[in-house]
Each structure stands twice: as C-alpha cells, then as structure tokens.
C-alpha cells in the first residue's frame, strides 16, 4: 500500500462527509501531524487521531478505502500517562472544509504525546517539533509535570519521567 499523505487524507475526509452526510472533526496525532506542522514527513500508512463525530462510521469508511486507522474519542486515554489537561482547547486549526475539521495539538502537547509512546520514530518526531517551534527543555518539563499530575499513580510514571529527563537533557546540548 502506498504511504498515506495529508492530501489523500483530506480527500478521504471530504469523500466521507459527502457519502455519509456526517460532519467530522479530527485531532491528528501521528506521523501525518508532524508533516502538518511543516517539519518534514515520515512515511506512514495509517492515520492516528482523536475523532469527534461518528468514529465507527469513519473507521469503516477508511477500512474500505484501505487505510488503517487508530482512532479514539480521547487520545489522552491512549496511555497511562495523560496528556496535559486542556489539550483539546489548545489545539490549532489545520484544515477546514464543509463537514470536515482537522486540528493539531499544541506543539508542547504533541511532544508529550510522542514521549508517552517513546519509540525512536516518536522521539525523532518530538525533536523536530521542538526544534521547529523553538520549545525549551523547561517548557517540555512543565508540560510533562502537568501530564503526570493528571495521570493515575502507576510505575509507568517513573519510566516516563526518566524519558522526559533524558529527552530534555539532549535539548540542552543542542547548539
């Protein structure tokens, strides 16, 4: 299957609203969001997003189009580590068409989302966003602290804190 692009996703979402008559709003979270921020692209075959609207209907539509999708109504719940409270209110518009709205997380929230998962690709995406938006280690540490405060007590918090500390240390070493 060819990589999924932002252009193809936009067309699919327009097709979805035309075929179903339903309106849909997404908050992009995966590799496509990195591209939407304008910080380069990483090949992806799926869409990762928080969905406001008929989630199951959209998932079925994308499946028929051959596009795997990791969709949910609350991306903060995708990890033991919550996103910083208020993340939805801090989203930024990216794309609007009749019946379609796509938003992006605030860059700090996006970085926290990537650090929650912590794969090499996620860390690289987070670093590109940090550099592009000139985020500081202190901003990331504060956002991480807010995320931890909103999270249930769990041993995963210890590992998340270590990852955040390590990530922030590497930011301090950038020229």
Is 4:10 a contact under the CB 8 Å cutoff?
no
Considering the domain architecture, whether residues 94 and 116 belong to the same structural domain is answered as no
Considering the domain architecture, whether residues 120 and 154 belong to the same structural domain is answered as yes
Considering the domain architecture, whether residues 126 and 102 belong to the same structural domain is answered as no
- What SS3 state is found at 139? helix
Indicate whether 1 belongs to any domain: no
Neighbours of 169 (CB within 10 A): 10
Residue 1: the pLDDT is 62
| Residue 62: Cβ-neighbour burial (10 angstroms; 0-12, 13-18, 19+) | buried
Could you read off the pLDDT of 41-61 as tens digits, one per residue?
Answer: 777 889 999 999 999 999 999
Is 132:39 a contact under the CB 8 Å cutoff?
yes
Considering the domain architecture, whether residues 135 and 53 belong to the same structural domain is answered as no
Indicate whether 129 belongs to any domain: yes
Last residue of a domain, one of 70, 85, 106: 106
Structural domain total, the chain: 2
**Strand bridging mode 47-52 / 24-28:** antiparallel
Range of the domain at 37: 6-106
Considering the domain architecture, whether residues 120 and 46 belong to the same structural domain is answered as no
What is the average pLDDT across 118-133? 95
Least confident of 39-48, 112-121, 150-159, 162-171: 39-48
Could you read off the pLDDT of 68-112 as tens digits, one per residue?
Answer: 999 999 999 999 999 999 999 999 999 999 999 999 999 999 999
Last residue of a domain, one of 79, 106, 133: 106
Considering the domain architecture, whether residues 102 and 120 belong to the same structural domain is answered as no
Considering the domain architecture, whether residues 132 and 154 belong to the same structural domain is answered as yes
Does residue 175 surpass a pLDDT of 50? no
Alpha-helical regions (H) of 21-154: 31-36, 55-64, 107-117, 120-133, 137-149
């Amino acid at each position: 299957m060819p990589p999924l692009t932002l252009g193809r996703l936009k067309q699919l979402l327009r097709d979805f609203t035309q075929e179903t008559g339903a309106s849909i709003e997404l908050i992009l979270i995966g590799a496509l969001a990195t591209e939407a921020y304008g910080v380069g692209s990483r090949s992806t075959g799926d869409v990762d997003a928080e969905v406001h609207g008929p989630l199951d209907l959209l998932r079925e539509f994308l499946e028929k189009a051959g596009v795997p999708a990791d969709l949910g109504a609350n991306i903060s719940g995708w990890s033991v580590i919550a996103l910083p409270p208020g993340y939805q209110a801090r989203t930024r518009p990216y794309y609007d068409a009749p019946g379609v709205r796509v938003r992006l997380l605030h860059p700090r929230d996006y970085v926290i989302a990537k650090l929650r998962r912590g794969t090499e690709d996620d860390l690289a995406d987070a670093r590109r966003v940090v550099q592009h938006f000139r985020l500081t280690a202190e901003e990331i540490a504060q956002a991480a602290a807010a995320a931890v405060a909103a999270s249930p007590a769990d041993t995963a918090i210890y590992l998340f804190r270590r990852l955040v500390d390590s990530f922030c240390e590497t930011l301090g070493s950038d020229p």
